[in-house]
Amino acid sequence: MGILSLMLAIPAIAAILCIFSGDRLARFVALGATLVNFALGLVMWRGFEVNGAQWQFVERADLFGRFQYALGIDGMALMLILLTAFLMPLCILASWQAIQKRVGLYMGMFLLMEAIVIGVFAAQDLILFYIFFEAALIPMYFIIGIWGGDNRKYAAFKFFLYTLLGSVLMLIAMIVMINTAGTSDITALLNYDFPTNMQFWLWLAFFASLAVKMPMFPVHTWLPDAHVQAPTAGSMILAGVLLKMGSYGFIRFMMPMFPDASADLMWVVFILSMIAVVYTSLIALVQNDMKKLIAYSSVAHMAIVTAGLFAFNQQGLEGALVIMLSHGVVSAALFFCVGVIYDRLHTREISRYGGLAINMPAYAVFFLLFTMASIGLPGTSGFVGEFLSLLGIYEASSFVALICATGIILGAAYMLYLYRRVVFGDLTKDDVKAMTDLNAREWAIMVPLAAVALWMGIYPESFLAPMRDDVAFVVERLADAKPAGDAQLAAPAVIAGVAQ
């Protein structure tokens, strides 16, 4: 058994143990399993050879027909698996006291989700990827539906239906791909040239599924409901990891496998991304629920990711990947910051707070750091990704870069407005006065999140280096694209027409 199979087996076995254990034992089993998996992730990172083979830690076993149990990672998958393994023990700690009913089942769902998400990023067989990709819906559905807020059933069904319906088209596209290429091996399909007319329909089928998963405008409406109703740890892992499966699908499948169609339809992605950046940022400005505000900010950040990816250059793709990692850490941290004060006052209404800097100074400092990282302050993780993305987008289209840059300005407006109303001002409300500062468990969650956000901002090369060759491979595939007619040349013209 290789290290990837081990990282799948440990949380899966621990999930079964948790389901049949008492509450106290389930918590410790879940925490132990996630910490072991994080340690294995660090071992894998240390053993990964930068500038080595594209695919490393490969495991293959023939099962039946064209289907293989095939695992392996490149630099992009490595970073996303590390992000998953890093966030999971923090989610378990965040749920330590907040979850009091069916604790064993709850911990089992989180462990099952960890195994499934790692499988998504490590799968090297198309059918295996699809199985993991769809299975990720199941534990999240139960986490929202059982342990969520008052309107949890509506949010859970909406989340499930939105994400499932789009994936049916992707399954049909995968069957066509396998029959055309004669293989379901992802590494082989990455170098296979599908006919240009076929690429168009395959691209649209994948887009229907992945756009919902990210989510992109206008199929983003499930996300605020899911975040508001999910428990704190559910929001952390939903924003931190599950949204990244959509953008991972863009850079793993759609762009290198359908380069001609990607060149034809890049203007569609640019226009939807520009609308999402401005529209969701303006909606975030008027929210009075902290979770909804952060949820809409996630849509805006992921819109910059899609624009960076479809800039079709090294800077744009690298920036998009760094935003994915940064957003995974920072959004999880922001949702935890909301959870900290929600556990004390049991409300997410911004107007109910104010003056927390007086009686919760440590909390105010951490909240400020994550707010600045979300805005993109130099020295934090958010700056590196946004700078690289905007640089790449500018090379493709200065107008798209201008619109995306307004999202950063609006992001500063709504995040600083949120921070001012919650942390600053007079401490006048008696129940807010009674709130205590961070305890030891909350410190144990805040410190690693803050350390990674600063590490990524100060020394991003440690995260960029493993992914650089893989980004170059995607850029090379896109450089050879042969769009139908003059569609690629027409894309900037279409955007310029929108600008006029």
What per-residue confidence (pLDDT) applies to 161?
Answer: 83
User: Any idea of the CA torsion for 408, 412, 413, 414, to the nearest 10 degrees?
Assistant: 100
**Residue reference for tokens 């992109």:** 216
Say how far apart CA 173 and CA 204 lie, in whole Å.
Answer: 9
164-203: b or e for each residue (b if 16 or more CB lie within 10 Å)?
A: eebbebbbebbeebbeebebbbbeebbeeebebebbbebb
pLDDT recorded at residue 455: 94
pLDDT of res. 65: 62
pLDDT computed for residue 335 by the predictor:
93
- pLDDT for position 495: 43
pLDDT for the residue numbered 64 = 67
pLDDT given at position 348: 87
User: What does the pLDDT read at residue 162?
Assistant: 82
- Determine the pLDDT at residue 101: 86
Q: CA 85 from chain center: how many Å? A: 13
Pick from 303, 271, 298, 274: nearest CA to 287: 298
Q: Which residues pair with 73 in a beta bridge?
A: 56
Residue ranges for the chain with pLDDT beneath 50? 485-500
Residues 6+ apart with CB under 8 A from 154: 225, 229
Cut 0.85: pTM above it: yes
